[in-house]
Amino acid sequence: MAEVRVGISGWTYPPWRGNFYPAGLPQKHELAYASRRFNALELNGSFYSLQRPASFRNWHGQTPPGFVFSMKAHKRITHERRLKDIAGTLANFFASGPLALREKLGPVLWQFPPFMRFDADRFRAFLDLLPRDTVEMARLAKKHEPWMKDRAEVEADARRPVRHAVEFRHESFLTDGFIALAREHNIAVVIADSASKFPTTEDVTADWVYIRLHGARELYASGYTTEEIGAWARKIEAWRDGGEPEGARRVSPPMGTPASIRRAGGRDIYNFFDNTDVKQRAPIDARAMAARLGVGPAGTPEDVLRDLGVTPKAATRAISKPTGQSRKRQPTGLAPHNWGSSARPRGAKVKTSAKARAGGKPRARAASKTARKAARRRK
């Protein structure tokens, strides 16, 4: 039967502490907790920097059986080089550790920037390079650059399929040529809701579907109403069952229902909420969608903590209040500015010292050289 996976994009966000994460839950248990509230997560840290095999092995060990990671491809390939001269960079990415996720490795997400136009020849060459299973991935990983020698994972424990999804953000991709190319390679074109900021399409291009919900009205921030969750759930149910939702916004005619979909009993679905900024809506909306579709872990927060054998400490700290108000204590889980394995929230301008990363106050940006000299003169 077709599988439906619903989750969130990343898991290390300080404002979630004391909200989605129970107050006082140690940060080292956040992935273990999130992976028992959802049946899949997007791994974002791999977009910002090459991770290490030890990290992937750690993430594998913290998550329960049946859980899956989607992995976002490194920005050096998609945003910096924009698919030009990427053979070594691509090998480095696949050597950085995804093979260590073993059976928990899900799709690889290739997100392209708004300024990148569709180039048919360049994209065909890129799609031809992508590994279709873990054995091919290992073969490609072995071509990594020499500096990766002591930090590479290049062996597959078994042959497993590897899926790829492409998220574009330039209107030049809204062509029959791009849709046909994706279908030829069984690449899922991401169905995205980006608050009308970027062009998108609901063309199904593979025997599975990848959906990213970035915010209904405000990109990365606004949440989804009960009615909006219901509308997306009905679309997901149609795609899951091998059909198409009524009124789907397409560039090309429907691809029909391949025999592989009929044999599988429908299409696998991956749905991630990326409205992670400011209002902390992603976990709320993802839980609502999972409940609406009847998928994912059913346990309560108390069940998860019991399963982990964790009792959050009611540690507190004093926080400063404006003059004339009393000092109030609140859980330490709300304090740290350690972005950990997932991305620093968009728009965050604060730099953090070692003290801040350990839970202290963030330090402000260093003053300019001119300002420092002026201060010394005033002393």
User: According to the model, what pLDDT value does residue 196 have?
Assistant: 86
User: According to the model, what pLDDT value does residue 278 have?
Assistant: 61
Average pLDDT on 232-257 reads 92
Instruction: Give the DSSP per-residue string, 84-106.
Output: SS-HHHHHHHHHSSGGGGGGGEE
Domains of the chain: 4-304 (3.20.20.410), 349-379 (no CATH)
User: According to the model, what pLDDT value does residue 263 have?
Assistant: 63
Return the minimum-mean-pLDDT range out of 184-198, 219-233, 252-266: 252-266
User: According to the model, what pLDDT value does residue 217 have?
Assistant: 86
The span from the CA of 126 to the CA of 143, in Å, is 16
The span from the CA of 247 to the CA of 337, in Å, is 44
Place of tokens 């999804």: 165
Phi, psi of 135 (to 5 degrees): -70, -45
pTM: predicted TM-score of the whole model, two decimal places: 0.82
Name the band, by pLDDT with cuts 50, 70 and 90, for residue 358. Answer: very low
The two tokens of residue 133 are 């299973």
Neighbours of 32 (CB within 10 A): 20
User: According to the model, what pLDDT value does residue 113 have?
Assistant: 97
Average pLDDT on 320-328 reads 34
The span from the CA of 334 to the CA of 332, in Å, is 5
Average pLDDT on 313-336 reads 37
The 3 state secondary structure assigned to 329-352 is: EEEHHHCCCCCCCCCCCCCCCCEC
Average pLDDT on 137-153 reads 97
Return the minimum-mean-pLDDT range out of 139-148, 251-260, 339-348, 369-378: 339-348
Q: Where are the beta strands (DSSP E) in the chain?
A: 4-9, 40-43, 68-72, 105-111, 164-167, 188-189, 191-193, 208-213, 268-273, 316-319, 328-331
Residue 283: strand, helix, or coil: helix
